[in-house]
Chain A
């Protein structure tokens, strides 16, 4: 079992709809969770982090964490074509971030 798993997609969502990205992790002791956005040919950009169970909202983005079920999700409301990218879920381990393989998201105009 991989430490951090994501659906690799691609996930296709119409413009204006809600995009939902999911991630599961294996280490029950994990405390810190991150979502990075990576455009093709670019480096990852930190867009959200969440440390406590529940929801955390930042503009059009909402991160959701459920430690009991060991999953974390990212919701993007009012999706825009500029949201088309690969979204990486990362979990903090000892001295490092452990990444999933990423989910490619395409927003269709």
Chain B
């Protein structure tokens, strides 16, 4: 079975631009979570979506938004990019909202210049 997929793999953007990152969960999984991982730190929670609804939000500014589609795939959008947004963005898939185990995709490496 295919695991979690994310696109693009790498992305370079300029300050002030907008970016959209995409994620497809493991087949049968209905919950998607987004995390930001800055070099040298553990992943930080951004959002969780389940059945197309936001179920959790981390301590990130309103420049960050996301949505989940009927096929359970998800997009993370970041507006007005800052240098500090440079990070590895990880999507994690789980079977249900309350499922404990989360499985990560390969991530999208975002560089803001």
Identify the A interface with B (CB < 8 A).
4, 32, 34, 36, 42-46, 49, 51, 88, 90, 92, 94-102
The answer to whether B103 touches A46, judged by C-beta atoms less than 8 angstroms apart, is yes
The answer to whether B104 touches A43, judged by C-beta atoms less than 8 angstroms apart, is yes
Asked, given contacts A42-B106, A96-B48, whether A88 binds B42 with beta carbons under 8 Å apart, the answer is yes
Interface size on B, residues (CB 8 A): 24
Identify the B interface with A (CB < 8 A).
33, 35, 40-45, 48, 55-56, 58, 88, 90, 92, 97, 100-107
Residues of chain A contacted by B105 (CB below 8 angstroms): 43
The answer to whether B42 touches A96, judged by C-beta atoms less than 8 angstroms apart, is no
The answer to whether A44 touches B90, judged by C-beta atoms less than 8 angstroms apart, is yes
The answer to whether A46 touches B42, judged by C-beta atoms less than 8 angstroms apart, is no
The answer to whether A45 touches B42, judged by C-beta atoms less than 8 angstroms apart, is no
Residues of chain B contacted by A51 (CB below 8 angstroms): 100
Chain A interface, DSSP helix/strand/loop, else mixed: strand
Query: Would you give 9 A-B contacts (Cβ < 8 Å), ordered by A?
Result: A36-B104, A42-B107, A43-B104, A95-B55, A97-B33, A97-B35, A97-B45, A99-B42, A101-B40
The answer to whether B101 touches A34, judged by C-beta atoms less than 8 angstroms apart, is yes
The answer to whether B33 touches A96, judged by C-beta atoms less than 8 angstroms apart, is yes
Residues of chain B contacted by A90 (CB below 8 angstroms): 42
Residues of chain A contacted by B106 (CB below 8 angstroms): 42-43
Residues of chain A contacted by B101 (CB below 8 angstroms): 34, 46, 49
Which residue of A has the minimal Cβ distance to B50?
A95
The answer to whether B56 touches A94, judged by C-beta atoms less than 8 angstroms apart, is yes
The answer to whether A49 touches B90, judged by C-beta atoms less than 8 angstroms apart, is no
Asked, given contacts A43-B107, A100-B42, whether A95 binds B100 with beta carbons under 8 Å apart, the answer is no
For the complex formed, measure the closest distance between the CB of B100 and the CB atoms of chain A, giving whole angstroms.
5
Residues of chain B contacted by A32 (CB below 8 angstroms): 100
Give CA–CA (A92, B45) in the complex, Å: 11
For the complex formed, measure the closest distance between the CB of B46 and the CB atoms of chain A, giving whole angstroms.
9
Give CA–CA (A90, B104) in the complex, Å: 13
Known: A44-B104, A96-B48, A101-B40. 15 other contacts (CB 8 A): A34-B101, A43-B105, A43-B106, A45-B104, A46-B101, A46-B104, A49-B101, A51-B100, A88-B43, A95-B48, A95-B56, A96-B45, A96-B56, A97-B35, A101-B41
